Amino acid sequence: MMENHNMADGLNQTVQQGYEAMREYTDKAADLAGSVSSNLRDFTRREPWLALIAAFAIGYTMAKVMHRALK
C-alpha cells in the first residue's frame, strides 16, 4: 500500500516538474514573439517598401511550395 502511495507521489512530482518546465518554455516563447513583433513593426515603419517586397516574396514562395505539395 505504501509503495503505491510513494509511486503516486513520484508521478505527481514528475507531472508538476513537467508542467513548470512547459510554463517556462511558454513564457520564453511569448517574450520572444513579442520581441520579434516589435522589431518587425519597427522595421516596417523604417523600410515600408522593403517590407512590402519581402512580404510579397514570402507569399509567392509559400504559394509555390503549397502548389507543389498539393500536386
- Cα Dmax for the chain: 70
Give me the tens of pLDDT residue by residue for the chain, a chain 71 residues long. 667 677 777 788 888 998 899 999 999 999 889 998 889 899 999 999 999 999 999 999 999 999 999 87
* Nearest-angstrom CA–CA distance, 2 and 67: 60
**Domain range enclosing 57:** 2-70
**Number of domain units in the chain:** 1
0.75 surpassed by pTM:
no
H or E element at residue 1 = none
